[in-house]
A and B are shown apart, each in its own frame.
Chain A
Amino acid sequence: MTVKQFFKSTAFKCIMALLAILLVCGVFLTAMYGFLKVTEGEKLYRAVGKIYSGESVKIYGIRDGQEVEISKNDEKPVSMIAAPVKVANAEVSDVYKVTYDKDGATVLNYLAKSTGNGGFSNGTVTLWVAVTADAGETDTVITGINKIIIDSNVNQSFIGNIGSGFLDSFAEGYTDGIYYTTEAGYKVTGTSMSSNAICNAVNGAITCVDVNVLGHSRVNPFENFTHTDLINCDLSSYVVNDDNSVTYTIVTNGYVMAGAFTLEIVVAEDKTVRTFTIIKNGSTSSATEDYKLKMFAVETEFVGKNLEYFTALMADGWKHPSSGELKTGATNSNYNCAYAAAFALENYDNCIAAKEGA
Chain B
Amino acid sequence: MNKYKKITLDGLIFQNPTFMLVLGTCPTLGLISSAFSAMGMGLTVIVILTLSNVLISLLRKLIPNEVRIPCYIVIIATLVTFARMLLEKFVPDLYDSLGGFLALIVVNCIILGRAEAFANKHNPLEAAVDGIANGLGFTCALTVMGVVCEFLGKGSLFGYHIMDFKIGMLATPAGAFIVYGLSIALFVYVIDVFQRARRVKANKLARENLMTQGVE
Q: Chain A: residues with CB nearer than 8 A to chain B?
A: 10, 13-14, 17-18, 21-22, 25, 28-29, 32-33, 36-38, 46, 160
Q: Name which residue of chain B comes closest to A13, CB basis.
A: B64
Main secondary structure of the interface of A (DSSP, over half): helix
Q: Please state if B86 and A22 are interface contacts (CB–CB under 8 Å).
A: no
Q: Name which residue of chain B comes closest to A157, CB basis.
A: B172
Q: Please state if A28 and B74 are interface contacts (CB–CB under 8 Å).
A: no
Q: Please state if A38 and B88 are interface contacts (CB–CB under 8 Å).
A: yes
Q: Please state if B64 and A14 are interface contacts (CB–CB under 8 Å).
A: yes
CB contacts (< 8 Å) of A18 on chain B: these are: 67, 70-71, 74
Q: Please state if A17 and B71 are interface contacts (CB–CB under 8 Å).
A: yes
CB contacts (< 8 Å) of A10 on chain B: these are: 64, 66
B163 close to A (CB within 8 Å)? no
CB contacts (< 8 Å) of A36 on chain B: these are: 85-86, 88-89
| Given A36-B86, A46-B92, A21:B81 Cβ within 8 A | no
CB contacts (< 8 Å) of A38 on chain B: these are: 88-89, 92
**How many Å lie between the Cα of A17 and that of B67 in the bound state?**
8
**How many Å lie between the Cα of A29 and that of B66 in the bound state?**
26
Cβ-neighbour of B78 out of A13, A25, A37, A160 (below 8 A): A25
Q: Name which residue of chain A comes closest to B72, CB basis.
A: A21
| Given A32-B82, A33-B85, A46-B92, A17:B75 Cβ within 8 A | no
B62 close to A (CB within 8 Å)? yes
B182 close to A (CB within 8 Å)? no
CB contacts (< 8 Å) of A29 on chain B: these are: 78, 81-82
Q: Please state if A14 and B89 are interface contacts (CB–CB under 8 Å).
A: no
Q: Please state if B92 and A22 are interface contacts (CB–CB under 8 Å).
A: no
Between-chain CB contacts (< 8 Å), 6 pairs: A10-B64, A17-B62, A25-B77, A28-B78, A36-B85, A38-B89
Please count how many residues in chain B sit with their CB below 8 Å of the partner chain's CB atoms.
21
Q: Please state if A25 and B74 are interface contacts (CB–CB under 8 Å).
A: yes
Q: Please state if A22 and B74 are interface contacts (CB–CB under 8 Å).
A: yes
CB contacts (< 8 Å) of B85 on chain A: these are: 32-33, 36-37
**How many Å lie between the Cα of A28 and that of B82 in the bound state?**
9
CB contacts (< 8 Å) of B210 on chain A: these are: none
Of residues 162 through 177 on chain B, the ones whose CB sits less than 8 Å from some CB of chain A are 171
Chain B positions 89 through 114: 1 when the CB is less than 8 Å from some CB of chain A, otherwise 0: 10010000000000000000000000
Q: Please state if A21 and B74 are interface contacts (CB–CB under 8 Å).
A: yes
Nearest CB of chain B from residue A106's CB, rounded to whole Å: 28
B125 close to A (CB within 8 Å)? no
Q: Name which residue of chain B comes closest to A33, CB basis.
A: B85
* 10 interchain residue pairs of minimum CB distance: A25-B78, A36-B85, A14-B67, A36-B89, A14-B64, A13-B64, A21-B74, A38-B88, A14-B66, A21-B71
**How many Å lie between the Cα of A46 and that of B89 in the bound state?**
11
**How many Å lie between the Cα of A10 and that of B65 in the bound state?**
10
CB contacts (< 8 Å) of A21 on chain B: these are: 59, 63, 71, 74-75
CB contacts (< 8 Å) of B63 on chain A: these are: 17, 21
**How many Å lie between the Cα of A29 and that of B76 in the bound state?**
12
CB contacts (< 8 Å) of A28 on chain B: these are: 78, 82
CB contacts (< 8 Å) of A160 on chain B: these are: 154, 171
Cβ-neighbour of A25 out of B66, B75, B92 (below 8 A): B75
**How many Å lie between the Cα of A128 and that of B78 in the bound state?**
35
| Given A29-B81, A46-B92, A17:B64 Cβ within 8 A | yes
Q: Name which residue of chain A comes closest to B171, CB basis.
A: A160
Of residues 53 through 70 on chain B, the ones whose CB sits less than 8 Å from some CB of chain A are 59, 62-64, 66-67, 70
Q: Name which residue of chain A comes closest to B70, CB basis.
A: A18
**How many Å lie between the Cα of A22 and that of B171 in the bound state?**
40
**How many Å lie between the Cα of A7 and that of B1 in the bound state?**
47
CB contacts (< 8 Å) of B89 on chain A: these are: 36, 38
Q: Name which residue of chain B comes closest to A20, CB basis.
A: B62
CB contacts (< 8 Å) of A13 on chain B: these are: 64
Sample of 10 further A-B pairs with CB below 8 A, known A17-B63, A18-B70, A33-B85: A10-B64, A14-B66, A18-B67, A18-B74, A25-B77, A28-B82, A29-B81, A32-B82, A36-B85, A36-B88
CB contacts (< 8 Å) of B64 on chain A: these are: 10, 13-14, 17
Nearest CB of chain A from residue B105's CB, rounded to whole Å: 15
CB contacts (< 8 Å) of B82 on chain A: these are: 28-29, 32
CB contacts (< 8 Å) of B88 on chain A: these are: 36, 38
Q: Name which residue of chain B comes closest to A46, CB basis.
A: B92
Nearest CB of chain B from residue A161's CB, rounded to whole Å: 9
**How many Å lie between the Cα of A38 and that of B154 in the bound state?**
32
**How many Å lie between the Cα of A17 and that of B61 in the bound state?**
11
**How many Å lie between the Cα of A18 and that of B67 in the bound state?**
7
CB contacts (< 8 Å) of A14 on chain B: these are: 64, 66-67
Nearest CB of chain A from residue B142's CB, rounded to whole Å: 21
**How many Å lie between the Cα of A28 and that of B55 in the bound state?**
14
